[in-house]
Structure 1
Amino acid sequence: MKALLIYPRFPQSFWSYDRFMEIAGLKAVLPPLGIITVAALLPQDWEIRFCDRNVNLETDADWEWCDLVILSAMLVQKPDFHALIKKAVRLGKKVAVGGPYPTSVPQEALDSGAHYLILDEGELTIPQFLEALNQGQEQGIFRSLEKPDVTQSPMPRFDLLQRDAYLMMAIQFSRGCPFNCEFCDIISLYGRKPRTKEPSQALGELQTLYDLGWRGSLFIVDDNFIGNQRNVKRFLRELIPWMKQHDYPFTFITEASVNLAEDDELLQLMNEAGFYAVFLGIETPDQDSLQVTQKLQNTRNPLIEACRKINNAGMLIYAGFILGFDGERAGAGERIQAFVEQTSIPQPMLGILQAPPNTALWTRLQKEQRLFDDISHPTGDQNTLMNFIPTRPVAEIAKEYVEGFWILYEPTNYLRRCFQQCLSIGSLERRKQTMQFPLGKGLQLVAQVIWHQGLRRTEIRLQFWQQLWTILRKKPQVLNMYLGLCAAGEHFWEYRALARKRISEQLGYDPMQVSVLSKPEPMLIKS
């Protein structure tokens, strides 16, 4: 079998870092870990070609060569995913699809012409698919109610990647999350019992990346790295000596729940292992909204104090915030802005609430008949209006979102938070460095940052040099981190205009130009 594995393109989004990638000479932030794990589950006698369309496009020769096209996608990749299915069918190729998007909404992949739907987790459903192929079946849907033992998951095919095109490499340690946030599809996809790999297994993946020559930052892509705290501590205790033995070749970033701040031992272990940053789902400082959405782990301790504690443990904080929860009071956007200023979180991901398919929120809104047509309404991006009828005016939410995003990413505000966050990071004595850039890319990135912010942008030029000089004097260990955050600003200063444009198109007017009180309720959102 000749299989062409294709990963669809992402649209420009908060996390695409388009201008950052351009000035750094890179193509994409992260490699697609899921589909290269699928590659490892396929028979060894198959011929495989892999293409990440975010890095390079496949060729006509690739299409002509293959017998089978395999696609994996998240919801935000929907347009390119469907275009690829239709192209494959048009060329007479068999198409197999999987990943979070078709798992959640299988009918849409069938409607585009996919022959095989390999849903849920591939360790259990790819063997079903391979058996069907052996039996000559022309189509099929393969599912599993059980969750696989990830200690049996194979080594991803890191060798298939054009590694020098990515900002970071990626591994996975666990799947699933113990919490019950109403809007989150992770628990519907992967369950509430976190399943972890063995420490030796994860270290084997790191050793493979090391042997392939990777040096730099590495994302542990778990949706909640600390979901199983006992096992993550086992891993960290083995990772620390491995890192020392290999002269600290990587620095790590991951995602975790805010209760990370409650475990001093875990913070210490992550610091010693080389974790320089963590993404937290803070969502909102409004306690009543956290209760409504069942994000109870965020209500146990003061959120500002939790952020400070994680900073003190040596980690930069990235964080997600959401507008549009049921019962949300007016001014939620301003309260998020105030929280961000108090914590100096450099890159707050502000979004509008979506109800992803099959989540508890989706099910509740469906029963309440408040859910919009899921096919025609755009979903999956941070700057899309909600796909349901909210409890306060859409215009009010949209205005708070656009104004909040615009103010948070005003260049002087953004650079000030980057500076303050870097200075607030503690416990760096054991650390060689923080954020790392891929080999050969660091000098280009620094030169570009100095050109754009130290010379070209007159409105921030003085601020940039003053802050850079203070970093060099007071905390040179965070220089890479500071310059990396500065470079990312080039992306966000463009993206905030795109976010405003997208919301304005959906509303039919620019919410920043119209008083909420003078505009009728625009419940008929353009789809």
Structure 2
Amino acid sequence: MKILLVYPKFPDTFWSFSYALRFIGKKASFPPLGLMTVAALLPGHFQKRLVDLNVDSLTDEDLSWADMAFIGGMAIQRVSAKKLMARCSQAGLKIVAGGPLFSAEPEAFPEVDHFVLDEAELTLPLFLDDLKAGKPKKIYRASGFCDLHRTPIPLWELINIKKYASLSIQFSRGCPFNCDFCNITAILGHKVRMKTPRQIIAELDELYGKGWRSNIFFVDDNFIGNKRFLKAELLPALIDWRKNKKGCVFFTEASINLADDPELLDMMGKAGFDSVFIGIESPDEASLSECRKTQNKNRNLLENVKNIHRAGLQVMGGFIVGFDNDTQAIFQRQIDFIQQSGIVTAMVGMLQAPPGTRLFDRLWKENRVVSSFTGDNVDGTTNIVPKMGLDRLMEGYRSILKQIYAPRSFYGRVRNFLQELKAPEFRIPMNFQRILAFFRSCIRLGIWGKGRLQYWQLLIWTLFRRPRQLPLAVTLAIYGYHYRRICEKYIL
């Protein structure tokens, strides 16, 4: 059996980093970890070929080679997935689909022959058994959650790792919190399930053995879901693994209560983490209560962010406007918080209601769901009717982005951040592409760019005040260029 695994293309968004990737000669930010894991779950005698449309083209030869096409992806990849399925159908290939895009609303994809949904560790073996017996069903769903101790190492040999800016690894699934707008718990549950440290070290050894020295993203939706296990088991193993190794700096996602645990912050730094994405959402307590973001309530969010910076971890923040409790004042409050916190990567989006969430169910009953979910919460759209009115929300949303990514505000925020940041213990080794990225930034941002004065002011300030952070300052300046291009092209 010849299996063609295809990963749909991401659209141009804040998260694609498409304009930033060009500076370092990469095609995509991250590889298709889910499809590579599915490939590892397939029988060893199956022939497998993986095409990631974010880095390669799907050829007619690929389609004629295959007996069956496996397609996986997220909601944001819907448009590309639709085009991909049409092409597979035209080629006469049976289509097997899975992943968050298809698990949320399989009825929206009549062109799919077989849905292998939820966690593939549970549903893929059932499909394979039925396929072998010649009677595969239309849809396979799981009634529970899998044991991650049995999850195999992804088949990294199916991709060219040099085409990616970062590689990925997964330690846990599930989140103990219950945010109203988040579909993670609906998909993966509240109980945090984890791989063993031995599994994680084996995956890291494989990446290191392939010559990888750049960033590695722990894709967990909340890496600190089980702090006790982290501090007692995984982080000590990572600290030990890192001895006598170069590069391989980690970043991940976590909740704001990370700031409450100095020991955990210290251990993450020693293990090689230098960045963490945190859903701040809103500085407004009423809006946090509305969306059940209880872990963010009754705390000084601004000071929490600064404490994490002072521990050597850069905070990348997610923000949302459009809650029912939001008033006109929320837009300036968000701007003020972002600027004062020094969160350089501030992903601000309008509230959306993903299918399968309590928010979706509530707004559906109120006849306030008006379109399909795009999966991109920073694309300047929403699938709901906001209480403040769509025009008012759009105007306020644009005002936030226009201000926080304007060169003066953005570069000022970078300086604010670098003043607070404790220098991380580990860094990516300098290579030819990173040197080229510096010179490309000097030309594109320092000569052609609208904010060229602020660019040079930042670099000179960093050179004299934070010389070890000069590569980071250049990287953040390049990110700012990407954010501005996306804003100008699609939102403002």
Residue 452, structure 1, aligned to residue 444, structure 2: yes
Equivalent residue for 1:86?
A: 86
Alignment partners' CA distance in 1, 2:124 and 2:241:
33
Residue 439 of structure 1 deviates from its aligned partner by 4.6
Q: Find the aligned partners of 2:82 and 2:455 in 1 and give their Cα distance.
A: 44
The 3 A distance-change label for structure 1 pair 225 and 378 is: closer
Q: Distance in 1 between matches of 2:266 and 2:423?
A: 9
**Which consecutive aligned stretches of 4+ in structure 1 deviate over 4 angstroms post-superposition?**
none
One-letter code aligned to 2:236: R
**C-alpha deviations, 1:127-168, integer Å up to 9, x for none?**
011011101125421110110011110001112121111111
Aligned pair partner of 1:230 in 228, 231, 240:
228
CA distance in 1, matches of 2:429, 2:105: 37
Q: Which residue of the other structure, out of 155, 158, 165, is the alignment partner of 1:157?
A: 155
User: Structure 1 CA distance, aligned partners of 2:211 and 2:276?
Assistant: 25
Aligned pairs for 1:166-315 (under 5 A) are 166-233=164-231, 234-245=233-244, 247-315=245-313
Q: How far off is 1:443 after superposition?
A: 1.3
The reply to whether residue 489 of structure 1 matches residue 472 of structure 2 is no
Query: What does the per-residue CA deviation read over 1:301-336, in whole Å, with 9 as the maximum and x for residues that have no partner?
Result: 210010011001001111000011112111211110
Is 2:341 aligned against 1:343? yes
Partner of 1:513: none
Structure 1: distance between partners of 2:433 and 2:230: 32
1:320 counterpart = 2:318: yes
- In the other structure, the counterpart of 1:421 is 417
Following superposition, the deviation at residue 368 of structure 1 comes to 2.4
2:43 is matched with 43
Q: Which amino acid aligns with 1:389?
A: V
Are the structure 2 counterparts of residues 50 and 182 from structure 1 closer, same or farther at C-alpha, using a change threshold of 3 Å?
A: same
Contact kept? 1:215, 1:439, Cα under 8 Å: no
Q: Deviations over 1:49-80 (max 9, x none)?
A: 10110001121111111000000010010011
Assess, with a 3 A threshold, how the Cα gap between structure 1 residues 438 and 3 changes in structure 2: closer, same or farther: farther
What whole-Å deviation, never above 9, does each CA across 1:394-423 have from its counterpart, x for those lacking one?
A: 111110101111111112211221222122
Residues 108-187 of structure 1 aligned to structure 2 (within 5 Å): 108-109=108-109, 111=110, 113-187=111-185
Residues 354 and 386 in structure 1, CA contact (< 8 A), matched pair in contact too = yes
> TM-score, with normalisation over the residues of structure 1?
0.90
Amino acid at match of 2:481: E
Cα deviations across residues 333-355 of structure 1 (Å, max 9, x unaligned)?
11100001111111210100100
Q: Is contact 1:217–1:438 with CA below 8 Å preserved after alignment?
A: no
Give the match for residue 506 of structure 1.
Answer: none
Contact 2:462 2:469 in 1 (8 A): yes
Asked if the contact 2:423/2:469 (under 8 Å) is kept, the reply is: no
The 8 Å contact of residues 246 and 429 in structure 2, kept in 1 or not, is answered as: no
Distance (Å, rounded) in 2 between the aligned partners of 1:432 and 1:107: 47
**Unmatched runs of 5 consecutive residues or more in structure 2:** none
Q: Are positions 1:370 and 2:349 aligned together?
A: no
Deviation of 1:101 after TM superposition, in Å, equals 0.8
The runs of 5 or more residues in structure 1 that have no matched partner are: 502-527
Q: TM-score, normalised by structure 2?
A: 0.97
Deviation at 1:108, TM superposition (A): 1.3
Aligned residue for 1:279, secondary structure, equals: strand
- Counterparts of 1:380 and 1:4, CA distance in 2: 27
2:452 is aligned with 1:461: yes
Is residue 116–residue 139 contact of structure 2 (8 Å, CA) maintained in 1?
Answer: yes
Deviations 1:97-152 (A, max 9, x none): 0000100111112x2x1111010001001101101110112542111011001111
The percentage of counterpart residues that share the same residue type is: 37
Matched, 1:390 2:382: no
- Distance across 2 between alignment mates of 1:318 and 1:127: 38
State whether residues 75 and 374 of structure 2, in contact with CA within 8 Å, keep that contact through their aligned partners in structure 1. no
Deviation, 1:367, is 2.3
Query: Which residue does the alignment assign to 1:476?
Result: 467
